[in-house]
Amino acid sequence: MVRRMTELGFWRLAAAQPDRPVLVDPDGSSITGGELLACANQVANGLRAQGLERGDAVATLLPNSAEMLEVYLGAMQIGLYVTPINFHLVGPEVAYILADSGAKAFVSHERLADVANAAVAEAGLAHDAHMVVGDNGSYASWRGTQSDVAPIDRVAGQPMHYTSGTTGQPKGVKRGLNDIDPDDMGALFAMFLMLFGIEEGGGNVHLCCSPLYHTAVLMWTSCSLHLGHQVVVMDRWDPEEMLRLIERWKVTTSHMVPTQFHRLLALPEEVHAEYDVSSLRQMVHGAAPCPEEVKRRMIDWWGDCVTEYYAATEGGGTIAPAKVWLERPGTVGQPWAGAEVRILDDDGDQLPAGEVGTVYMSLAQVNFEYKDDKDKTESNRRDGFFTVGDIGVLDDDGFLYLRDRKSDMIISGGVNIYPAEIEGVLLTHPKVGDAAVFGIPHEDWGEEIKAVVEPIADAAVSDELADEILAFCAEKLAKFKLPKSVDFTALMPRDPNGKLYKRKLRDPYWEGRERAI
């Protein structure tokens, strides 16, 4: 293990083997370790030249690309926080994260220019702090003027992802910076994959098939680089294209969500048979519940490489290999090495096996705070454990089963969507008196967003009003947060204290269907 620690980590590996291919860009071009390292060093030196110091933040609004990984690997070796922003957000949402994170540099892509420029203006970010990737952008020339030699005084940085909360405002998950060499931090990151039985080298190829702004996707992709694996990056996911890339590059690992499984299984059988997937070794999935039928069919097709895990942006977690899941259908596994899971009741007392309560995970290796929100940070803690509000139960052997999730959260296509933010926008419409948002069944995405509105007294219920409300939301919310439809009710089911009984609205839509948990 000591030998591995001194040999792993992207920067160390790339310096030792500069000619080894490490990255395949979405356009199909291959990039060597030396080339990616040189670009990462230029980014690090460029950010330093712009005055960024340890503890400062750099934000990105980028599609999956070599540039996204350059910025990440550059910032992570000079003690910066890296905040990847969801490129589906609209200008005001991006501006909020830019301002809240305190980003002193921002790298975006020219195809996202309208959103990025609006966000920069609203956040008040200096013009020269915004670099744009693309044929007509400033990023390449900015980076090209910097030294490609490793920066001095290297120290490890941290990612700082933003996750929405029940209040509707995104919160940065911020971990402390450690006085550790980036190479050693990279080695520690690499060892995360070893928890899943993935080893260094050995012809491993990781396929990045989801957006790199997601915590787990960036984690798995960067850890693969730190472990010495080649990474193949998809810009936009397509099921048959994924199969083609698996066969072309002999892919061994990837990180997926159940919606992608569903889309793959929907391909004709002759398409399944056309591509060789025998190279697959570990295809992990998480982020959303996977229906048992879908899981079984994927295991039948891809074999024992289909592994489920449970974790959150804040930390984790548990692992359920395919063989274990087949023996205990529905489990999300046992805690991985160094992790611990407890089930607590509403008073914070630990419950025995078989009793349902709130799932708490140990903070021992993943201590964090919600940036500038002490109350939220402290409210989810109990004796060195944290929760994200999921409800579950442990069996006698310590296997975790989720029984519910954050009470009102919608998971659509593996993306967490929080109704409070959408409800807040609806309530600003002049003809909306009250509003509720929740998930209803969707064959492909698992859930879709439904809005129920109580109009003001003199507003006439009509299809035109529903269209007007949806158009209003489209100006204020990212596309993936938009309700797909609006229904109306004469009186919202609230108690005298104002509590909304959302289940009374939601249950009719799920009649005869088991809501995924």
The first and second tokens of residue 233, run together, are 């990056």
Residue 404 predicted with pLDDT over 60: no
Domain that holds residue 115: 2-157+169-288
Give the pLDDT score at 166. 41
**Domain shared by 16 and 146, yes or no:** yes
Give the pLDDT score at 20. 96
For residue 393, being part of any structural domain is answered with no
Q: Which of 185, 155, 159, 187 is nearest to 173 (CA)?
A: 159
Residue 168 predicted with pLDDT over 60: no
Dihedral Cα 300, 414, 387, 79, nearest 10 deg: 110
The C-alpha angle with vertex 363 and arms to 361 and 368, in degrees rounded to 5, equals 120
Kindly report the CATH number assigned to the domain that includes residue 496.
3.30.300.30
Residue with tokens 């490609």: 148
- Note the pTM of the prediction, 2 decimals: 0.82
For residue 334, being part of any structural domain is answered with no
Give the pLDDT score at 137. 92
Residue 405 predicted with pLDDT over 80: no
Residue 163 predicted with pLDDT over 60: yes
Residue 453 forms beta bridges with which residues? 435, 488
Give the pLDDT score at 164. 62
Residue 227 predicted with pLDDT over 50: yes
Q: Which of 256, 288, 320 is the last residue of a domain?
A: 288
Residue with tokens 């080893």: 199
Dist. CA 452–CA 438, nearest whole Å: 9
Residue 360 predicted with pLDDT over 60: yes
Least confident residue range of 21-35, 101-115, 205-219, 434-448 = 434-448
For residue 256, being part of any structural domain is answered with yes
The C-alpha angle with vertex 417 and arms to 413 and 421, in degrees rounded to 5, equals 155
Average pLDDT over residues 471-479: 93
Give the pLDDT score at 281. 96
**Domain shared by 57 and 206, yes or no:** yes
Average pLDDT over residues 69-81: 98
Look at 406 and 382; give whichever has higher pLDDT.
382
Q: In this predicted model, what pLDDT tens digit does every residue of 323-348 receive, in sequence order?
A: 999 999 989 999 988 889 999 998 88
For residue 226, being part of any structural domain is answered with yes
β-strand pairing of 357-362 with 341-344 = antiparallel
User: Band of the pLDDT at 113, cuts 50, 70, 90?
Assistant: very high
The Cβ of residue 44 has, within 10 Å, a number of other Cβ atoms equal to 32
Least confident residue range of 34-38, 218-222, 458-462 = 458-462
Residue 482 predicted with pLDDT over 90: yes
**Domain shared by 134 and 269, yes or no:** yes
The Cβ of residue 418 has, within 10 Å, a number of other Cβ atoms equal to 21
For residue 297, being part of any structural domain is answered with no
Mean of all residue pLDDT scores within the chain: 90
Dist. CA 342–CA 360, nearest whole Å: 5
Give the pLDDT score at 365. 67
Q: In this predicted model, what pLDDT tens digit does every residue of 262-314 receive, in sequence order?
A: 889 889 999 999 999 999 999 999 877 777 778 899 999 999 999 999 998 88
Kindly report the CATH number assigned to the domain that includes residue 17.
3.40.50.12780
Residue 3 predicted with pLDDT over 50: no
For residue 358, being part of any structural domain is answered with no
For residue 284, being part of any structural domain is answered with yes
**Domain shared by 423 and 279, yes or no:** no
Residue 491 predicted with pLDDT over 60: yes
Q: Which of 240, 272, 288 is the last residue of a domain?
A: 288
The Cβ of residue 440 has, within 10 Å, a number of other Cβ atoms equal to 19
Least confident residue range of 47-56, 78-87, 369-378 = 369-378
Average pLDDT over residues 150-172: 84
Give percent above pLDDT 70 in the chain: 95
Alpha helix segments (H runs only) across 414-462? 419-426
For residue 371, being part of any structural domain is answered with no
Give the pLDDT score at 167. 46
Residue 1 predicted with pLDDT over 50: no
Q: Which of 230, 264, 288 is the last residue of a domain?
A: 288
Residue with tokens 């899941």: 325
Dist. CA 79–CA 178, nearest whole Å: 9
**Domain shared by 414 and 274, yes or no:** no
Number of domains the chain is built from: 2
Residues with Cβ within 8 Å of residue 6, at least 6 apart in sequence: 187
Look at 152 and 6; give whichever has higher pLDDT.
152
Give the pLDDT score at 195. 86
Note the residue count of the chain.
517
